[in-house]
């Protein structure tokens, strides 16, 4: 079970403030983050993932990103909306790196690779991947290892319907193990496939339930 706490967040790009709110907390569950283009969904995800500088505090289960960055990052897994990786490495080399960092074996990802039908491509260089394959690789990497908090930014774009079902299964099984999910998507989540515990919207730099 993972709890997220954000306090006094201010995130600006130059003089343009994207996010500014005093407090936002999430308890165990699956949450859908909505908002139009440019409202700051990806920025919020990057703030929580520790990928971009910001003012304020973020913590998961009381572990602060500022005070204990490595331990904090070991608790979360982030799949970006438009993943970018070195084009000259293979899918397996990238996965191997993730496994080493997350202290797990590449064998543990075999089932995921098979489910996403990526087995034939994992030894190919990333520059030969289509955008859908790149997205599936990023999801395989995100679900490799056991983390407690998952950030999935637009996980449904570019993947086919069969892969979307695999993704829903992954989410379901990790939810049963107690993981918390934050998902942003413009497409509606299938309520029969996953149970959404809360929907939030970013509007005018603030995040609020809707």
Which positions touch another protein (CB under 8 A)?
A: 49-54, 65-66, 69-74, 76, 78, 80, 83-89, 93, 96-98, 100-102, 138
- Residue 196 Cβ, how far from another protein at the closest point, in Å? 24
- Is-contact 154 81, C-beta < 8 A? yes
Rounded to the nearest 5°, which phi and psi values hold at 100?
-65, -45
| Closer residue to another protein (CB): 153 or 175 | 153
- Residue 137 Cβ, how far from another protein at the closest point, in Å? 11
Token output for 65: 């990103």
| Closer residue to another protein (CB): 84 or 161 | 84
Nearest Cα neighbor of 133 from 108, 154, 158 is: 158
Please state, as a whole number, how many other Cβ atoms lie within 10 Å of the Cβ of residue 37: 7
Nearest Cα neighbor of 149 from 51, 45, 43, 57 is: 45
| Closer residue to another protein (CB): 35 or 56 | 56
Rounded to the nearest 5°, which phi and psi values hold at 151?
-115, 110
- Residue 204 Cβ, how far from another protein at the closest point, in Å? 24
| Closer residue to another protein (CB): 52 or 185 | 52
- Distance CA(167)–CA(132), nearest Å, equals 13
- Distance CA(182)–CA(106), nearest Å, equals 25
| Closer residue to another protein (CB): 30 or 75 | 75
- Residue 191 Cβ, how far from another protein at the closest point, in Å? 29
- Residue 49 Cβ, how far from another protein at the closest point, in Å? 4
- Distance CA(207)–CA(209), nearest Å, equals 7
- Residue 86 Cβ, how far from another protein at the closest point, in Å? 5
Contacts of 1 (CB under 8 A, 6+ apart): 27, 28, 148, 178, 180
């Amino acid at each position: 079970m993972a709890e997220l706490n954000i306090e006094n967040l201010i995130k600006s790009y130059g003089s343009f403030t994207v996010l500014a709110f005093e407090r936002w907390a999430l308890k165990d569950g699956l949450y859908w983050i909505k908002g139009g283009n440019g409202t700051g969904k990806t920025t919020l995800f990057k703030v929580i993932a520790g990928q971009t500088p910001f003012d304020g505090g973020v913590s998961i289960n009381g572990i602060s990103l500022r005070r204990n960055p490595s331990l904090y990052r070991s608790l979360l897994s982030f799949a970006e909306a438009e993943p970018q990786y070195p084009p000259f490495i293979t899918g397996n080399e990238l996965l191997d790196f993730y496994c080493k960092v997350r202290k797990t074996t590449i064998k543990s990802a075999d089932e995921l690779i098979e489910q996403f039908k990526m087995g034939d491509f994992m030894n190919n260089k990333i520059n030969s991947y289509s955008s859908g394959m790149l997205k599936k690789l990023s999801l395989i990497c995100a679900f490799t290892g056991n983390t407690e908090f998952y950030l999935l930014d637009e996980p449904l774009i570019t993947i086919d319907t069969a892969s979307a079902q695999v993704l829903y299964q992954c989410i379901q099984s990790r939810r049963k193990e107690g993981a918390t999910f934050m998902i942003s998507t413009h497409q509606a989540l299938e309520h029969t496939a996953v149970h959404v515990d809360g929907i939030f919207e970013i509007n005018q730099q603030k995040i609020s339930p809707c």
